[in-house]
Each structure stands twice: as C-alpha cells, then as structure tokens.
C-alpha cells in the first residue's frame, strides 16, 4: 500500500504547490490589470486613501487640494478646487468614484505617487507596511491665476477662449475657456447635470470642453499668417510684390468679394497694393490671388509644418485636444488632390478650414521666435511631498516651419496691422505690438467669430496671445478680440 500512499501524497503536495503558483500569478503578474479594472471596489477605496498631490498655479495659488475624512477606521481624501471656475477645462477633476479628466487624469501617476523608480520603491513598500498615508507629488503649473481670471473677465461669459504663451519657451500662462463651470459641483447631487446644462451665450458650447485646445473655429483672416508664410518662404512673393485689387478676386469664373472691414473708410477696392498692404488691411482679393498662384496644396503644406493635422503636444490628455485642418462632415478631411481644394478661399481662412486658438497661438509664436516653433507646456515642475524636485520641464522646440528671414518679414507685416491696419485697437503706448485680426464668416449673415492673434514686444517678443470670441453680431476681430488681447498683453508686460 505504501507505493500508492507515496503517489497520493505527491498528488496532494502538487495540488498545494499549484496554489502557490496561482496565488503568485494574481499577486504579481496580474496586479496592474486588476488595479485598472473599472469595477474594482478595493482600488476605488485605495485611490481615496492616497493624499493626492496638490495642483498649484505659477505663484503658488492652490488650484486643487484635498479634504480629509476619517470613516470606518480609514483616512480618505476627496478633491476640492478652491479656484472654482478658473481653469476646470485644463485642470479637470477627480471624483471619489474614480473618474478623472484634464491634468488630473494625465498626471494621475504623479498625483498619486505611483511614479515609482528604483530609489523610492523600497521606501514606499515600507511606508505601505507601516500603514502610512501615501502622499502624491505636487504639481506646479505655468498658469497664472490672476491672468486667467482677467481673461475670463474680458470674455464676459461670451463663448470663446484666450491663450497666452511665453513666446520663447512655450510656457502657457493663460488658457481660459468660456463658458466655464465650478468643478466642485461635479460631485454634488445633480451637479454633473447642472454642468452639462451650461451652454454659454452662444447657446451650443459645453462648459466641459476646453475651447482653447478643442474648440474648432474657422480661423478667417488670422490664417493669412500661414498663407503669407507660404508665399514668402517658398520664394514666390516678397512683401513688396504688387497686386491689383478691384474689390474682388475671380475664382472659378465668378467674383469672390472682399469682406467689409471696419478700417475701410475709403473704397472697398484698394486698387494697386503690395502684399504687405494686403496683409495690413486684410484684403481678401490679394490673398485669393496668392492662393490661386501658389496652390492650395502649398498652403496646406505650410499649415502642416506649423502643426495643423496633428495634435499640439500638451500635458493635458490628447482626448481634450483637436487637430486643426480642413474638416468635412465633422471629420478631419484629407483632400486627395489640389482640385478638391478651393485655393482662393483657403488662402484667407475659409473653405472648411478650422483651427484651435492654441494652434493659431503657435503660428504667431513661430513668427515671434524667428521661425522656431516652441513646444507648449502647462507643467512647470513636479515636487515630491518631501519638497524634493521630481521633474522640471525644460523648454523644447517643435521644429522650424519657416526661415528666420520669413519670420522677420511676417513680424514687420504684423506690426503694420496694429500700427495702421485692422488691429489698431491693440496698440499699447511704448510697446510695439504685432498681430493679425480675423473675422470669420460662419454662414450666419453678419454674425462672426472674432479673432485676434498677436505678440509683443515685436522687436524682442516675450508673450503671444490668441483670442477668439464666438458668434459676435457685427463683431470684428479688430473691435471685439483685439482689446481683450491688449488687456492680457498689458497685464503680462506689467504696463
């Protein structure tokens, strides 16, 4: 009988050994998968036991912090947003149920202290065994709360967005989106439904959407920066190239008329003008002819160099940004050949062209930065709970879409716009401002999207500002958005 006994005892031990193997699988191999499961009730509580890192503005203003609770012998933390409606589309929110958006989502690993490396894994494991609270890393943003507040104030509840960048580094100083909401509402009863009902004065905007990165607006004449860049950089034109402006441009056998601009007190037809003057007064016929000559594909090629057709890199989740480019039926559209593009209308920023305020700010930043496009960023620094620096953002260049000489020519042309063209209301005494207006037709009669994209001081650019205000009746870029941009620039320049 002993032989059988041996067999059975081996079988019993193999069964028990199999349990060690299976337990090892679940407690090492599968740990990540299990933690990521939506229905993980334990992970949900575990998330709340972490003292989530604070999110701070540039001056140390607290934008997101925690409220501490003690219940069932467990210390938990829930999120609180002292700055309320200031920048919820950028910062996002983190709920007790585990939903995260915005920076709260993309910086989750830092905020929860889950970004382990060799040096802190051991101490974290010890802390865990000791039952100590895990403290997440604090995040310091480039956003300036006072500037952000000013931007929202200037927008006065109108739908739109304001983006302010450091011209050289790409640091985002303001990223205001209107309509906005108070993220503290989200976890209140019916709070989310209340937020969803916020539509803004334009009637169809969502407070949850970051209009600065995901708002797609026809860029109108601000797109002339791209067209002019293509015209000059390719060598097809110089700023002094002469055009005849009869008040319209002939395309496909019919007239494409100039838009009525507020500074056009004289005749709508300018007659013989240079490219530079065409830019200064935002004359559509001039750019229509430029477009016809260099072709729609050339314009699109330069747009792509500036970052159209790709997501601008930013610290927020990619899902909260949109690509600028040609759109058809609500989808990004890739024309098969030049015949599908209307080069004349594309040249002045109509014809299915949609752009985000951030993208247009990056175009201006490239011109300001002598042809080098800075990479925008929101996170200045990540600091551990013990005060040690975890990561610091160093400015990066995305590329060089245009030559330095082209940038210098465009810079000068943009200065003319503010000095004597369509953007005179952005003038700041003692500071040379370079800008471009845009008054985009929406097919709604005299209701326009008003744009102003600018930088200052023009001779040594420090700040870039991009403003869009949606659906303004008789609202022009120069009259509606330029004053907002001016106020932001003044605050930044400290004048």
Partner 1 sequence: MTVPLADPYLLPMAALLTAIGVTEIYRLGPGNAFRQGLWIVIGVAAFGATLFWLHKDYRALEHYKYVFGVTAIGLLFLPALPVIGETVNGSRLWIHVGSLQFQPGELGKIALIVFLAAYLREKREVLAQGRLKDWGPLLVIWGGAMLVLFATNDLGSALLYYGIFLAMLYVATARISFVAAALGLFLVGAFGLSYFTPHVQDRVTNWLSPWSAHKIYCPLVGHDALRQDCQSYQLVQSLYSLGHGGFGGTGLGHGIFTSTSGGQVIPDLNTDFIYSALAQELGLVGVSALLLLYMAFVLRGFRIALAASDGFSKLLAAGLSFGFAFQTFVIVGGITRVIPLTGITLPFVSYGGSSVVANFLLVAGLLLISNRANRQEAGA
Say how far apart CA 15 and CA 260 lie, in whole Å. Answer: 85
Say how far apart CA 18 and CA 331 lie, in whole Å. Answer: 53
Say how far apart CA 259 and CA 281 lie, in whole Å. Answer: 11
Say how far apart CA 198 and CA 180 lie, in whole Å. Answer: 8
Under the binding rule (CB under 8 A), the answer on residue 67 touching partner 1 is no
Under the binding rule (CB under 8 A), the answer on residue 123 touching partner 1 is no
Name which of 362, 229, 219 is nearest 290 in CA terms.
Answer: 229
Say how far apart CA 182 and CA 83 lie, in whole Å. Answer: 8
Say how far apart CA 120 and CA 126 lie, in whole Å. Answer: 10
Kindly tell me which residue out of 42, 196, 404, 444 binds partner 1, with binding defined by CB under 8 A. Answer: 42
Nearer to partner 1, 19 or 118 (CB): 19
Helix or strand holding residue 13 (H, E): helix 2-24
Kindly tell me which residue out of 131, 330, 445, 473 binds partner 1, with binding defined by CB under 8 A. Answer: 131
Q: How far is CA 315 from CA 155, 375, 458, in A?
A: 24, 11, 28
Strands (E), 233-277: 242-245, 248-251, 254-257, 271-274
Under the binding rule (CB under 8 A), the answer on residue 75 touching partner 1 is no
Under the binding rule (CB under 8 A), the answer on residue 6 touching partner 1 is yes
Say how far apart CA 214 and CA 280 lie, in whole Å. Answer: 29
Under the binding rule (CB under 8 A), the answer on residue 242 touching partner 1 is no
Kindly tell me which residue out of 59, 68, 123, 125 binds partner 1, with binding defined by CB under 8 A. Answer: 125
Query: Where does this chain touch partner 1 (CB under 8 A) — which range of 27-35, 313-321, 332-340, 477-485?
Result: 27-35
Min. distance of Cβ 134 from partner 1 in angstroms? 11
Under the binding rule (CB under 8 A), the answer on residue 74 touching partner 1 is yes
Min. distance of Cβ 64 from partner 1 in angstroms? 20
- Strand 325-328 to 331-332 pairing: antiparallel
Nearer to partner 1, 71 or 331 (CB): 71
Name which of 111, 101, 120 is nearest 55 in CA terms.
Answer: 111
Site residues for partner 1, window 435-454 (CB under 8 A)? none
Alpha carbons within 13 angstroms on the beta-carbon side of residue 81 total 22
Min. distance of Cβ 188 from partner 1 in angstroms? 16
Under the binding rule (CB under 8 A), the answer on residue 28 touching partner 1 is yes
Kindly tell me which residue out of 70, 71, 331, 336 binds partner 1, with binding defined by CB under 8 A. Answer: 71
Site pattern 78..97 for partner 1 (x: CB under 8 A)? ------------------xx
Nearer to partner 1, 31 or 196 (CB): 31
Kindly tell me which residue out of 13, 196, 242, 404 binds partner 1, with binding defined by CB under 8 A. Answer: 13
Which residues would be at the binding site for partner 1 (CB under 8 A)? 1-9, 11-13, 15-20, 22-28, 30-31, 33-35, 37, 39-46, 48-49, 71-72, 74, 76, 96-97, 125, 128-131
């Amino acid at each position: 009988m002993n032989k059988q006994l041996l067999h059975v005892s081996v079988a019993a031990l193999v069964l028990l050994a199999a349990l060690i193997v299976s337990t090892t699988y679940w407690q090492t191999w599968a740990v990540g998968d299990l933690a990521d499961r939506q229905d993980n009730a334990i992970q949900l509580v575990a998330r709340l036991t972490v003292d989530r890192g604070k999110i701070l503005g540039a001056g140390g203003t607290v934008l997101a912090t925690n409220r501490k609770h003690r219940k069932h012998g467990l210390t938990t933390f829930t999120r609180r947003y002292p700055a309320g409606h200031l920048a919820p589309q950028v910062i996002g929110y983190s709920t007790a149920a585990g939903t995260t958006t915005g920076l709260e989502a993309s910086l989750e690993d830092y905020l929860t202290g889950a970004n382990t490396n060799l040096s802190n894994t051991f101490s974290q494991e010890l802390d865990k065994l000791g039952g100590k609270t895990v403290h997440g890393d604090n995040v310091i943003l480039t956003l300036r709360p006072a500037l952000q507040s000013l931007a929202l104030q200037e927008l006065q509840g109108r739908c739109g967005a304001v983006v302010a960048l450091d011209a050289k580094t790409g640091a985002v100083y303001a990223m205001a989106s209107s309509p906005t909401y108070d993220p503290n509402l989200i976890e209140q009863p019916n709070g989310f439904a209340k937020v969803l009902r916020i539509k803004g004065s334009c009637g169809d905007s969502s407070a949850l959407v970051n209009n600065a990165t995901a708002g797609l607006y026809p860029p109108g004449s601000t797109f002339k920066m791209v067209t002019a860049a293509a015209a000059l950089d390719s060598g097809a034109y110089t700023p002094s190239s002469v055009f005849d402006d009869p008040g319209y441009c002939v395309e496909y056998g019919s007239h494409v008329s100039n838009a009525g601009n507020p500074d056009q007190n004289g005749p709508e037809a300018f007659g013989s003008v240079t490219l530079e003057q065409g830019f200064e007064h935002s004359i559509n016929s001039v750019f229509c002819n430029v477009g016809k000559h260099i072709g729609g594909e050339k314009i699109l090629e330069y747009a792509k160099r500036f970052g159209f057709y790709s997501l601008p890199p930013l610290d927020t989740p990619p899902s909260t940004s949109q690509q600028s480019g040609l759109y058809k039926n609500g989808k990004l559209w890739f024309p098969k050949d030049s015949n599908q593009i209307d080069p004349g209308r594309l040249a002045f920023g109509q014809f299915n062209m949609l752009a985000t305020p951030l993208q247009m700010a990056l175009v201006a930043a490239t011109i300001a930065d002598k042809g080098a496009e800075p990479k925008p960023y929101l996170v200045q620094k990540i600091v551990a709970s013990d005060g040690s620096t975890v990561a610091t953002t160093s400015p990066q260049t995305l590329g060089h879409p245009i030559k330095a000489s082209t940038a210098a020519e465009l810079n000068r042309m943009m200065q003319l716009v503010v000095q004597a063209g369509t953007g005179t209301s952005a003038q700041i005494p003692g500071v040379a401002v370079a800008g471009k207006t845009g008054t985009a037709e929406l097919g709604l009669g005299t209701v326009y999207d008003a744009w102003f994209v600018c930088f200052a001081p023009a001779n040594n650019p420090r700040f870039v500002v991009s403003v869009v205000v949606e659906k303004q009746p008789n609202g022009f870029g120069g009259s509606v958005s330029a004053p907002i941009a001016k106020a932001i620039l003044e605050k930044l320049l400290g004048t």
